[in-house]
Amino acid sequence: MAHIKMSVTVPEDIFDEIKKIASSRETKVSHLVTEALTDKIKKVKEDAFVSQINTIFGDPEVIKEQRKMANDIATSTNIEELPW
């Protein structure tokens, strides 16, 4: 993976915390920042995905279809035949 050097401005207290954490983990500040950004990007993508799912399942037509499907499954399934 290629690496790109960038300049970022952060508050001094945040920088001090980053340096302390990196030192305690015996790692470079750049590795710690990369890890934090990776986690943040993952969370943003997950949140966007959940939002899309919520939008889809908030659609009245999808809700209607899901209820119909659930009802069809419930009425056509003999629970005595299930392997539990």
User: Which domain does 52 fall in, by range?
Assistant: 46-74
Q: What is the pLDDT of residues 2-28, one digit of tens each?
A: 999 999 999 999 999 999 999 999 999
* pLDDT at 84 (0 to 100): 65
Distances (CA, A) of 60 to 45, 49, 56: 25, 19, 9
The number of domains in the chain is: 1
Does residue 41 form part of some domain? no
31 falls within a domain: no
Per-residue pLDDT of 63-80, as tens digits, reads 888 889 998 888 887 777
pTM above 0.75, yes or no: no
Compute the distance between CA of residue 68 and CA of residue 62 in angstroms, rounded to an integer. 10
